[in-house]
Chains A and B, each alone.
Chain A
Amino acid sequence: MATSNPSSTNEPALSPAGGSLPLGLAPLPTREASPAGAPQETVVDARNVNFFYGKHQVLFDINLAVQAREIFALIGPSGCGKSTFLRTLNRMNDTIPGVRLEGEVIVNGRNIYAPGTDVIGLRRTVGMIFQRSNPFPFSIFENVAYGLKVNGLARGRREQEAVVESSLRAAGLWDEVKDRLHKPALALSGGQQQRLCIARALAIEPEILLMDEPASALDPIATTRIEELALELKAKYTIVIVTHNLQQAARISDRTCFFLMGRVVETGPTQRMFTNPARKETEDYITGRFG
Protein backbone atom coordinates (compact mmCIF):
# COMPACT_ATOMS: atom_id res chain seq x y z
CA MET A 1 0.00 0.00 0.00
CA ALA A 2 1.24 3.44 -0.87
CA THR A 3 0.27 4.77 2.52
CA SER A 4 2.49 2.33 4.34
CA ASN A 5 5.47 3.10 2.15
CA PRO A 6 5.19 6.61 0.74
CA SER A 7 8.70 6.61 -0.70
CA SER A 8 7.70 3.93 -3.19
CA THR A 9 5.51 6.34 -5.12
CA ASN A 10 5.93 9.76 -6.70
CA GLU A 11 2.67 10.93 -5.20
CA PRO A 12 2.93 12.08 -1.63
CA ALA A 13 0.84 9.88 0.61
CA LEU A 14 -2.60 11.23 1.36
CA SER A 15 -2.97 11.50 5.05
CA PRO A 16 -6.03 11.75 7.25
CA ALA A 17 -7.16 15.05 8.71
CA GLY A 18 -4.76 16.25 11.35
CA GLY A 19 -1.74 14.65 9.73
CA SER A 20 0.74 16.28 7.40
CA LEU A 21 -0.78 17.92 4.36
CA PRO A 22 -0.93 16.02 1.09
CA LEU A 23 0.41 17.31 -2.21
CA GLY A 24 2.77 19.79 -0.59
CA LEU A 25 0.03 22.37 -0.01
CA ALA A 26 0.68 25.10 2.50
CA PRO A 27 -1.73 25.03 5.41
CA LEU A 28 -4.70 27.36 5.15
CA PRO A 29 -4.42 30.36 7.42
CA THR A 30 -6.72 30.00 10.38
CA ARG A 31 -8.23 32.75 12.44
CA GLU A 32 -9.04 31.54 15.86
CA ALA A 33 -10.60 33.67 18.54
CA SER A 34 -8.20 32.46 21.16
CA PRO A 35 -5.37 30.42 19.72
CA ALA A 36 -5.04 27.11 21.45
CA GLY A 37 -1.64 26.63 22.96
CA ALA A 38 -0.93 30.36 23.23
CA PRO A 39 0.58 31.15 26.60
CA GLN A 40 -2.16 32.18 28.97
CA GLU A 41 -1.82 34.72 31.66
CA THR A 42 -4.51 34.88 34.29
CA VAL A 43 -5.24 38.48 35.22
CA VAL A 44 -8.40 37.99 37.23
CA ASP A 45 -8.91 34.94 39.39
CA ALA A 46 -12.02 34.65 41.55
CA ARG A 47 -11.66 31.90 44.13
CA ASN A 48 -14.60 30.50 46.07
CA VAL A 49 -16.41 33.81 46.02
CA ASN A 50 -19.61 34.07 48.05
CA PHE A 51 -21.39 37.37 48.18
CA PHE A 52 -24.13 38.61 50.47
CA TYR A 53 -26.44 41.60 50.59
CA GLY A 54 -27.03 41.50 54.35
CA LYS A 55 -28.21 37.96 55.03
CA HIS A 56 -29.25 37.39 51.46
CA GLN A 57 -26.64 35.42 49.52
CA VAL A 58 -26.48 36.30 45.81
CA LEU A 59 -23.25 34.60 44.68
CA PHE A 60 -22.40 31.01 45.52
CA ASP A 61 -18.89 29.64 45.37
CA ILE A 62 -17.80 31.36 42.17
CA ASN A 63 -14.51 30.20 40.68
CA LEU A 64 -13.56 31.95 37.48
CA ALA A 65 -10.29 32.90 35.83
CA VAL A 66 -10.05 35.58 33.15
CA GLN A 67 -7.08 35.53 30.80
CA ALA A 68 -5.13 38.55 29.59
CA ARG A 69 -6.47 40.18 26.43
CA GLU A 70 -9.57 38.10 26.06
CA ILE A 71 -13.17 39.21 25.95
CA PHE A 72 -14.97 37.29 28.64
CA ALA A 73 -18.76 37.46 28.48
CA LEU A 74 -21.10 36.90 31.40
CA ILE A 75 -24.61 35.90 30.41
CA GLY A 76 -27.66 34.80 32.34
CA PRO A 77 -31.20 35.86 33.21
CA SER A 78 -31.89 39.03 35.20
CA GLY A 79 -31.00 38.67 38.84
CA CYS A 80 -28.61 35.75 38.27
CA GLY A 81 -25.72 37.64 39.87
CA LYS A 82 -23.63 38.41 36.81
CA SER A 83 -23.58 42.19 37.37
CA THR A 84 -22.89 41.69 41.07
CA PHE A 85 -19.98 39.46 40.16
CA LEU A 86 -18.67 42.01 37.65
CA ARG A 87 -18.77 44.67 40.35
CA THR A 88 -16.79 42.53 42.78
CA LEU A 89 -13.86 42.75 40.36
CA ASN A 90 -13.14 46.41 41.15
CA ARG A 91 -14.97 46.57 44.48
CA MET A 92 -17.79 48.68 43.12
CA ASN A 93 -20.11 46.90 45.56
CA ASP A 94 -18.21 48.42 48.50
CA THR A 95 -20.42 51.48 48.38
CA ILE A 96 -23.56 49.45 49.15
CA PRO A 97 -24.14 49.17 52.90
CA GLY A 98 -24.33 45.70 54.45
CA VAL A 99 -22.53 43.76 51.71
CA ARG A 100 -20.05 41.02 52.50
CA LEU A 101 -17.72 38.98 50.34
CA GLU A 102 -16.12 35.65 51.21
CA GLY A 103 -13.31 34.16 49.21
CA GLU A 104 -10.65 35.89 47.18
CA VAL A 105 -10.49 37.94 44.01
CA ILE A 106 -6.95 37.97 42.71
CA VAL A 107 -6.13 40.73 40.24
CA ASN A 108 -2.61 40.69 38.87
CA GLY A 109 -1.51 38.35 41.61
CA ARG A 110 -2.99 40.28 44.54
CA ASN A 111 -6.14 39.63 46.54
CA ILE A 112 -8.04 42.89 46.12
CA TYR A 113 -10.06 42.18 49.26
CA ALA A 114 -6.95 41.93 51.45
CA PRO A 115 -6.77 44.59 54.16
CA GLY A 116 -4.88 47.68 53.08
CA THR A 117 -5.77 47.36 49.40
CA ASP A 118 -5.58 50.67 47.56
CA VAL A 119 -9.12 50.73 46.16
CA ILE A 120 -8.57 53.90 44.15
CA GLY A 121 -5.50 52.33 42.56
CA LEU A 122 -7.50 49.15 41.93
CA ARG A 123 -10.18 51.07 40.03
CA ARG A 124 -7.48 52.71 37.98
CA THR A 125 -6.31 49.27 36.93
CA VAL A 126 -9.83 47.90 36.54
CA GLY A 127 -11.96 50.48 34.73
CA MET A 128 -15.70 50.27 34.32
CA ILE A 129 -18.22 51.17 31.62
CA PHE A 130 -21.85 51.28 32.66
CA GLN A 131 -25.14 50.57 30.94
CA ARG A 132 -26.16 54.21 30.92
CA SER A 133 -23.40 56.44 29.65
CA ASN A 134 -22.61 58.90 32.39
CA PRO A 135 -20.45 61.75 31.13
CA PHE A 136 -19.84 64.59 33.54
CA PRO A 137 -21.57 67.91 32.68
CA PHE A 138 -18.25 69.24 31.42
CA SER A 139 -16.70 69.64 28.01
CA ILE A 140 -15.61 66.59 26.01
CA PHE A 141 -11.98 67.43 26.76
CA GLU A 142 -12.56 67.85 30.49
CA ASN A 143 -14.40 64.54 30.68
CA VAL A 144 -11.43 62.61 29.34
CA ALA A 145 -8.89 64.69 31.27
CA TYR A 146 -10.81 64.35 34.53
CA GLY A 147 -9.26 61.08 35.63
CA LEU A 148 -5.80 62.38 34.82
CA LYS A 149 -6.33 65.36 37.06
CA VAL A 150 -7.80 63.59 40.08
CA ASN A 151 -5.15 60.92 39.86
CA GLY A 152 -2.39 63.45 39.30
CA LEU A 153 -1.34 61.57 36.17
CA ALA A 154 -0.74 64.24 33.57
CA ARG A 155 1.57 67.04 34.51
CA GLY A 156 1.24 69.76 31.91
CA ARG A 157 -1.47 70.95 29.54
CA ARG A 158 0.43 69.54 26.57
CA GLU A 159 0.65 66.11 28.14
CA GLN A 160 -3.04 66.22 28.94
CA GLU A 161 -3.84 67.09 25.35
CA ALA A 162 -1.78 64.18 24.11
CA VAL A 163 -3.52 61.71 26.43
CA VAL A 164 -6.98 63.08 25.59
CA GLU A 165 -6.29 62.70 21.88
CA SER A 166 -4.88 59.20 22.14
CA SER A 167 -7.75 58.10 24.40
CA LEU A 168 -10.37 59.53 22.06
CA ARG A 169 -8.62 57.87 19.12
CA ALA A 170 -8.52 54.54 20.94
CA ALA A 171 -12.24 54.89 21.65
CA GLY A 172 -12.89 55.62 17.96
CA LEU A 173 -14.32 59.05 18.73
CA TRP A 174 -11.52 61.45 17.80
CA ASP A 175 -12.57 62.19 14.23
CA GLU A 176 -16.09 62.99 15.32
CA VAL A 177 -15.20 65.38 18.12
CA LYS A 178 -11.76 66.83 17.35
CA ASP A 179 -13.28 70.14 16.23
CA ARG A 180 -15.47 70.54 19.26
CA LEU A 181 -13.43 69.29 22.16
CA HIS A 182 -14.55 72.13 24.35
CA LYS A 183 -18.26 71.74 23.66
CA PRO A 184 -20.46 70.07 26.31
CA ALA A 185 -20.21 66.29 26.40
CA LEU A 186 -23.93 66.01 27.02
CA ALA A 187 -24.58 67.33 23.51
CA LEU A 188 -23.15 64.11 22.04
CA SER A 189 -25.40 61.28 20.88
CA GLY A 190 -25.95 58.27 23.14
CA GLY A 191 -23.43 56.15 21.27
CA GLN A 192 -20.86 58.94 21.26
CA GLN A 193 -21.38 59.49 24.99
CA GLN A 194 -20.75 55.82 25.62
CA ARG A 195 -17.52 55.93 23.60
CA LEU A 196 -16.56 59.09 25.49
CA CYS A 197 -16.95 57.14 28.73
CA ILE A 198 -14.70 54.45 27.27
CA ALA A 199 -12.14 57.13 26.34
CA ARG A 200 -12.37 58.49 29.87
CA ALA A 201 -11.70 55.03 31.25
CA LEU A 202 -8.78 54.47 28.84
CA ALA A 203 -7.14 57.80 29.73
CA ILE A 204 -5.95 56.50 33.09
CA GLU A 205 -4.40 53.45 31.41
CA PRO A 206 -6.34 50.57 32.93
CA GLU A 207 -5.46 46.94 32.21
CA ILE A 208 -8.92 45.52 32.60
CA LEU A 209 -12.22 46.98 31.41
CA LEU A 210 -15.48 45.91 32.98
CA MET A 211 -18.49 46.58 30.77
CA ASP A 212 -21.96 46.28 32.22
CA GLU A 213 -24.48 46.13 29.35
CA PRO A 214 -22.51 48.82 27.48
CA ALA A 215 -24.72 48.83 24.40
CA SER A 216 -28.15 48.00 25.74
CA ALA A 217 -29.36 51.59 25.42
CA LEU A 218 -27.90 52.08 21.94
CA ASP A 219 -29.29 51.65 18.44
CA PRO A 220 -27.87 48.87 16.21
CA ILE A 221 -25.30 51.10 14.50
CA ALA A 222 -23.97 52.55 17.76
CA THR A 223 -23.99 49.00 19.16
CA THR A 224 -21.88 47.77 16.25
CA ARG A 225 -19.38 50.55 16.91
CA ILE A 226 -19.07 49.58 20.57
CA GLU A 227 -18.63 45.92 19.60
CA GLU A 228 -15.98 46.74 16.99
CA LEU A 229 -14.28 48.94 19.55
CA ALA A 230 -14.23 46.11 22.09
CA LEU A 231 -12.61 43.84 19.50
CA GLU A 232 -9.94 46.48 18.82
CA LEU A 233 -9.33 47.17 22.51
CA LYS A 234 -8.76 43.46 23.06
CA ALA A 235 -5.27 43.86 21.60
CA LYS A 236 -4.27 45.82 24.70
CA TYR A 237 -6.90 45.28 27.37
CA THR A 238 -8.73 42.47 29.05
CA ILE A 239 -12.49 42.92 28.82
CA VAL A 240 -15.16 41.39 31.00
CA ILE A 241 -18.60 42.16 29.64
CA VAL A 242 -22.06 41.54 31.03
CA THR A 243 -24.68 41.37 28.32
CA HIS A 244 -28.27 40.30 27.90
CA ASN A 245 -27.74 40.26 24.17
CA LEU A 246 -26.71 36.69 23.41
CA GLN A 247 -25.81 37.52 19.84
CA GLN A 248 -23.50 40.20 21.16
CA ALA A 249 -21.74 37.72 23.42
CA ALA A 250 -21.54 35.31 20.48
CA ARG A 251 -20.15 37.96 18.15
CA ILE A 252 -17.40 39.44 20.26
CA SER A 253 -16.38 37.24 23.17
CA ASP A 254 -13.68 34.59 23.29
CA ARG A 255 -15.20 32.80 26.23
CA THR A 256 -18.65 32.88 27.69
CA CYS A 257 -19.80 32.12 31.21
CA PHE A 258 -23.42 31.30 32.03
CA PHE A 259 -24.72 32.37 35.44
CA LEU A 260 -27.92 31.06 36.95
CA MET A 261 -29.29 31.88 40.39
CA GLY A 262 -25.95 33.09 41.70
CA ARG A 263 -23.93 30.14 40.43
CA VAL A 264 -21.72 29.49 37.44
CA VAL A 265 -23.40 26.79 35.39
CA GLU A 266 -20.88 26.57 32.60
CA THR A 267 -17.88 28.41 31.17
CA GLY A 268 -16.32 27.65 27.80
CA PRO A 269 -15.10 28.88 24.43
CA THR A 270 -17.88 31.04 23.01
CA GLN A 271 -18.21 29.04 19.82
CA ARG A 272 -18.83 25.84 21.73
CA MET A 273 -21.17 27.51 24.22
CA PHE A 274 -23.45 28.69 21.42
CA THR A 275 -23.29 25.64 19.17
CA ASN A 276 -23.01 22.81 21.64
CA PRO A 277 -23.24 23.74 25.32
CA ALA A 278 -22.45 20.95 27.76
CA ARG A 279 -25.18 21.70 30.28
CA LYS A 280 -28.91 21.41 29.77
CA GLU A 281 -29.53 24.66 31.68
CA THR A 282 -27.23 26.55 29.33
CA GLU A 283 -28.94 25.11 26.28
CA ASP A 284 -32.39 25.92 27.66
CA TYR A 285 -31.32 29.51 28.29
CA ILE A 286 -29.62 30.27 25.00
CA THR A 287 -32.31 28.57 22.91
CA GLY A 288 -35.03 30.47 24.75
CA ARG A 289 -36.62 27.39 26.33
CA PHE A 290 -35.90 28.76 29.76
CA GLY A 291 -38.74 29.18 32.25
Chain B
Amino acid sequence: MRKHFAEELEDLKERVVYMGGLVETAVHRSVHAFVDRDLDLSASVIREIEPEVNHLEVEIDEEILRLLALQQPMAVDLRFLAACLKITTDLERMGDLAVNIAQGVERLLEQPLSTPLVDLPLMAERTKHMIRTALDSLIGADVDLARQVLETDDEVDSIRDQIFRELMHRMGQNSELVERGMTHILVARNLERIADHATNIAEDVIFWVEGVDIRHHLHDHV
Protein backbone atom coordinates (compact mmCIF):
# COMPACT_ATOMS: atom_id res chain seq x y z
CA MET B 1 0.00 0.00 0.00
CA ARG B 2 1.42 3.35 -1.01
CA LYS B 3 0.24 5.13 2.11
CA HIS B 4 2.07 8.37 1.53
CA PHE B 5 0.92 8.70 -2.03
CA ALA B 6 -2.69 8.01 -1.02
CA GLU B 7 -2.41 10.77 1.59
CA GLU B 8 -0.95 13.16 -0.94
CA LEU B 9 -3.86 12.48 -3.30
CA GLU B 10 -6.29 13.15 -0.44
CA ASP B 11 -4.52 16.43 0.39
CA LEU B 12 -4.66 17.44 -3.25
CA LYS B 13 -8.39 16.78 -3.37
CA GLU B 14 -8.92 18.93 -0.29
CA ARG B 15 -7.09 21.80 -1.93
CA VAL B 16 -9.10 21.51 -5.15
CA VAL B 17 -12.31 21.46 -3.11
CA TYR B 18 -11.12 24.51 -1.14
CA MET B 19 -10.44 26.31 -4.43
CA GLY B 20 -13.94 25.30 -5.55
CA GLY B 21 -15.41 26.71 -2.34
CA LEU B 22 -13.76 30.05 -3.05
CA VAL B 23 -15.22 30.07 -6.56
CA GLU B 24 -18.65 29.26 -5.16
CA THR B 25 -18.30 32.24 -2.79
CA ALA B 26 -17.14 34.46 -5.65
CA VAL B 27 -20.22 33.57 -7.70
CA HIS B 28 -22.51 34.06 -4.70
CA ARG B 29 -21.05 37.46 -3.83
CA SER B 30 -20.88 38.77 -7.38
CA VAL B 31 -24.55 38.04 -8.05
CA HIS B 32 -25.52 39.43 -4.63
CA ALA B 33 -23.49 42.55 -5.32
CA PHE B 34 -25.24 42.93 -8.66
CA VAL B 35 -28.75 42.49 -7.27
CA ASP B 36 -28.11 44.69 -4.21
CA ARG B 37 -25.92 47.22 -6.08
CA ASP B 38 -23.24 46.61 -3.45
CA LEU B 39 -19.81 47.88 -4.52
CA ASP B 40 -18.00 46.62 -1.41
CA LEU B 41 -19.17 43.11 -2.07
CA SER B 42 -18.18 43.24 -5.74
CA ALA B 43 -14.79 44.64 -4.78
CA SER B 44 -14.15 41.67 -2.47
CA VAL B 45 -14.62 39.34 -5.43
CA ILE B 46 -12.33 41.35 -7.69
CA ARG B 47 -9.58 42.17 -5.20
CA GLU B 48 -9.60 39.27 -2.76
CA ILE B 49 -11.18 36.07 -4.00
CA GLU B 50 -10.21 35.95 -7.66
CA PRO B 51 -6.47 36.64 -7.03
CA GLU B 52 -6.50 33.84 -4.43
CA VAL B 53 -8.17 31.49 -6.94
CA ASN B 54 -5.48 32.30 -9.51
CA HIS B 55 -2.78 31.68 -6.96
CA LEU B 56 -4.29 28.33 -6.01
CA GLU B 57 -4.53 27.26 -9.65
CA VAL B 58 -0.79 27.69 -10.13
CA GLU B 59 0.04 26.05 -6.82
CA ILE B 60 -2.23 23.04 -7.31
CA ASP B 61 -1.10 22.51 -10.91
CA GLU B 62 2.51 22.45 -9.73
CA GLU B 63 1.59 19.87 -7.14
CA ILE B 64 -0.15 17.73 -9.77
CA LEU B 65 2.89 17.88 -12.05
CA ARG B 66 5.10 16.90 -9.13
CA LEU B 67 2.93 13.86 -8.36
CA LEU B 68 2.80 12.84 -12.03
CA ALA B 69 6.58 13.04 -12.35
CA LEU B 70 7.56 11.48 -9.06
CA GLN B 71 4.84 8.92 -8.42
CA GLN B 72 4.10 7.81 -11.98
CA PRO B 73 0.49 7.08 -11.14
CA MET B 74 -1.54 4.46 -12.96
CA ALA B 75 -5.20 3.74 -13.63
CA VAL B 76 -7.62 5.43 -11.21
CA ASP B 77 -4.85 7.61 -9.74
CA LEU B 78 -3.73 8.73 -13.18
CA ARG B 79 -7.31 9.58 -14.11
CA PHE B 80 -7.74 11.48 -10.84
CA LEU B 81 -4.70 13.67 -11.46
CA ALA B 82 -5.69 14.29 -15.09
CA ALA B 83 -9.18 15.25 -13.90
CA CYS B 84 -7.81 17.63 -11.23
CA LEU B 85 -5.55 19.31 -13.75
CA LYS B 86 -8.62 20.14 -15.83
CA ILE B 87 -10.82 21.01 -12.86
CA THR B 88 -8.40 23.72 -11.68
CA THR B 89 -8.52 25.25 -15.17
CA ASP B 90 -12.31 25.26 -15.07
CA LEU B 91 -12.39 26.77 -11.58
CA GLU B 92 -9.97 29.52 -12.57
CA ARG B 93 -12.18 30.43 -15.54
CA MET B 94 -15.24 30.44 -13.27
CA GLY B 95 -13.43 32.93 -11.03
CA ASP B 96 -12.81 35.18 -14.04
CA LEU B 97 -16.47 35.00 -15.00
CA ALA B 98 -17.52 35.92 -11.45
CA VAL B 99 -15.26 38.96 -11.77
CA ASN B 100 -17.07 39.86 -15.01
CA ILE B 101 -20.35 39.84 -13.09
CA ALA B 102 -18.84 41.88 -10.23
CA GLN B 103 -17.53 44.45 -12.70
CA GLY B 104 -21.08 44.88 -13.99
CA VAL B 105 -22.07 46.42 -10.64
CA GLU B 106 -20.20 49.65 -11.40
CA ARG B 107 -21.87 49.93 -14.80
CA LEU B 108 -25.20 49.25 -13.17
CA LEU B 109 -24.76 52.10 -10.67
CA GLU B 110 -24.46 54.57 -13.55
CA GLN B 111 -27.91 53.53 -14.68
CA PRO B 112 -31.27 54.33 -13.10
CA LEU B 113 -33.06 51.66 -11.07
CA SER B 114 -35.20 49.28 -13.03
CA THR B 115 -37.68 46.55 -12.25
CA PRO B 116 -35.69 43.68 -10.74
CA LEU B 117 -35.45 40.45 -12.65
CA VAL B 118 -36.74 37.57 -10.59
CA ASP B 119 -35.17 35.04 -12.90
CA LEU B 120 -31.61 36.28 -12.40
CA PRO B 121 -31.35 35.32 -8.68
CA LEU B 122 -33.05 32.02 -9.59
CA MET B 123 -30.47 31.34 -12.30
CA ALA B 124 -27.70 32.23 -9.84
CA GLU B 125 -29.18 29.80 -7.28
CA ARG B 126 -29.27 26.96 -9.77
CA THR B 127 -25.72 27.74 -10.93
CA LYS B 128 -24.37 27.80 -7.38
CA HIS B 129 -26.18 24.56 -6.72
CA MET B 130 -24.41 23.04 -9.74
CA ILE B 131 -21.02 24.16 -8.42
CA ARG B 132 -21.79 22.78 -4.97
CA THR B 133 -23.05 19.48 -6.36
CA ALA B 134 -20.05 19.13 -8.69
CA LEU B 135 -17.69 19.68 -5.74
CA ASP B 136 -19.67 17.21 -3.61
CA SER B 137 -19.39 14.64 -6.38
CA LEU B 138 -15.62 15.22 -6.34
CA ILE B 139 -15.45 14.84 -2.56
CA GLY B 140 -17.43 11.61 -2.50
CA ALA B 141 -16.40 10.18 -5.89
CA ASP B 142 -20.16 10.19 -6.45
CA VAL B 143 -21.12 9.78 -10.11
CA ASP B 144 -24.84 10.02 -9.36
CA LEU B 145 -24.34 13.53 -8.04
CA ALA B 146 -22.15 14.32 -11.03
CA ARG B 147 -24.95 13.25 -13.39
CA GLN B 148 -27.38 15.51 -11.51
CA VAL B 149 -25.11 18.44 -12.40
CA LEU B 150 -25.40 17.59 -16.09
CA GLU B 151 -29.19 17.61 -15.82
CA THR B 152 -29.30 20.93 -13.95
CA ASP B 153 -27.31 22.54 -16.77
CA ASP B 154 -30.30 22.17 -19.08
CA GLU B 155 -32.43 23.94 -16.48
CA VAL B 156 -29.96 26.83 -16.25
CA ASP B 157 -29.93 27.14 -20.03
CA SER B 158 -33.71 27.39 -20.13
CA ILE B 159 -33.76 30.09 -17.41
CA ARG B 160 -31.21 32.00 -19.48
CA ASP B 161 -33.51 31.73 -22.52
CA GLN B 162 -36.37 33.02 -20.40
CA ILE B 163 -34.25 35.99 -19.20
CA PHE B 164 -33.15 36.80 -22.76
CA ARG B 165 -36.74 36.69 -23.99
CA GLU B 166 -37.97 38.96 -21.23
CA LEU B 167 -35.18 41.50 -21.66
CA MET B 168 -35.52 41.53 -25.45
CA HIS B 169 -39.19 42.21 -25.00
CA ARG B 170 -38.57 45.09 -22.58
CA MET B 171 -35.80 46.59 -24.70
CA GLY B 172 -38.02 46.34 -27.77
CA GLN B 173 -40.71 48.34 -26.02
CA ASN B 174 -38.45 51.00 -24.55
CA SER B 175 -35.10 51.83 -26.07
CA GLU B 176 -34.01 53.64 -22.89
CA LEU B 177 -33.81 50.19 -21.31
CA VAL B 178 -31.25 48.87 -23.82
CA GLU B 179 -28.17 49.75 -21.74
CA ARG B 180 -29.61 48.25 -18.55
CA GLY B 181 -30.87 45.25 -20.51
CA MET B 182 -27.44 44.57 -21.95
CA THR B 183 -25.87 44.74 -18.49
CA HIS B 184 -28.32 42.11 -17.29
CA ILE B 185 -27.87 39.95 -20.37
CA LEU B 186 -24.14 39.89 -19.73
CA VAL B 187 -24.71 38.68 -16.17
CA ALA B 188 -26.95 35.87 -17.43
CA ARG B 189 -24.38 35.02 -20.08
CA ASN B 190 -21.59 34.82 -17.48
CA LEU B 191 -23.72 32.66 -15.20
CA GLU B 192 -24.48 30.33 -18.07
CA ARG B 193 -20.79 29.92 -18.78
CA ILE B 194 -20.05 29.30 -15.10
CA ALA B 195 -22.67 26.55 -15.18
CA ASP B 196 -20.96 25.08 -18.28
CA HIS B 197 -17.67 24.91 -16.39
CA ALA B 198 -19.45 23.19 -13.48
CA THR B 199 -20.68 20.66 -16.04
CA ASN B 200 -17.08 20.11 -17.15
CA ILE B 201 -16.10 19.39 -13.56
CA ALA B 202 -18.90 16.84 -13.22
CA GLU B 203 -17.75 15.18 -16.46
CA ASP B 204 -14.20 15.01 -15.12
CA VAL B 205 -15.47 13.35 -11.94
CA ILE B 206 -17.26 10.71 -14.01
CA PHE B 207 -14.08 10.18 -16.05
CA TRP B 208 -12.06 9.80 -12.86
CA VAL B 209 -14.43 7.33 -11.20
CA GLU B 210 -15.69 5.31 -14.14
CA GLY B 211 -12.92 5.76 -16.70
CA VAL B 212 -15.39 6.81 -19.40
CA ASP B 213 -15.25 10.04 -21.31
CA ILE B 214 -18.79 11.38 -21.62
CA ARG B 215 -17.87 14.73 -23.16
CA HIS B 216 -19.56 15.80 -26.37
CA HIS B 217 -21.66 12.62 -26.28
CA LEU B 218 -18.70 10.75 -27.80
CA HIS B 219 -20.04 7.52 -26.35
CA ASP B 220 -23.16 7.84 -28.49
CA HIS B 221 -21.12 7.35 -31.63
CA VAL B 222 -18.72 4.57 -30.74
Contacts and interface: CB of A to CB of B under 8 A. Distances in A.
Contacts of A250: 74
A274 B221 contact: no
A275 B222 contact: no
B18 interface: no
B79 A291 contact: no
A276 B73 CA distance: 12
B221 A289 contact: no
Contact of A18 (B2, B72, B222): B222
B78 interface: yes
A104 interface: no
A286 B73 CA distance: 9
A17 interface: yes
B51 interface: no
Contacts of B74: 246, 250, 274-275, 286-287
A283 interface: yes
A276 B75 contact: yes
Given A275-B211, A276-B211, A16 B75 contact: no
Nearest to A18: B221
Contacts of A276: 75, 79, 211
B1 A290 contact: yes
A17 B216 CA distance: 9
A275 B72 CA distance: 12
B218 interface: yes
A250 to B, nearest CB: 8
Contacts of B76: 283, 287
A155 B216 CA distance: 65
B6 interface: yes
B142 interface: no
A287 B79 contact: no
B78 A247 contact: no
A16 B218 CA distance: 8
Interface string A262-291: 000000000000111100001100111111
B1 A289 contact: yes
B216 A275 contact: no
Contacts of B217: 16
A54 interface: no
Contact of A247 (B5, B72, B75, B79): B72
A156 interface: no
Contacts of B73: 287
B1 A275 contact: no
Contact of A275 (B2, B6, B75, B220): B75
B77 interface: yes
Contacts of B2: 287-289
Nearest to B80: A287
B1 A288 contact: yes
B61 to A, nearest CB: 21
A19 B218 CA distance: 11
Contact of B5 (A16, A288, A291): A288
A283 B74 CA distance: 8
Interface in B52-100: 72-79
Q: Which of A18, A19, A276, A283 is packed against the most chain B CB atoms within 10 Å?
A: A276
Nearest to B211: A276
A22 to B, nearest CB: 14
B1 A274 contact: no
B75 A286 contact: yes
Given A17-B216, A17-B218, A18-B221, A287 B77 contact: yes
B216 A289 contact: no
Interface in B169-222: 211, 216-218, 220-222
Contacts of A286: 74-75
B219 to A, nearest CB: 10
Nearest to B1: A289
A277 B78 CA distance: 12
Nearest to B221: A18
Nearest to A16: B221
A150 to B, nearest CB: 43
- Which 9 pairs, one residue from A and one from B, show the smallest C-beta to C-beta distance? A276-B211, A288-B2, A18-B221, A286-B74, A283-B75, A16-B221, A287-B77, A274-B74, A287-B75
Given A17-B216, A287-B73, A290-B1, 8 more contacts: A16-B217, A18-B221, A274-B74, A275-B74, A275-B75, A276-B79, A289-B6, A291-B1
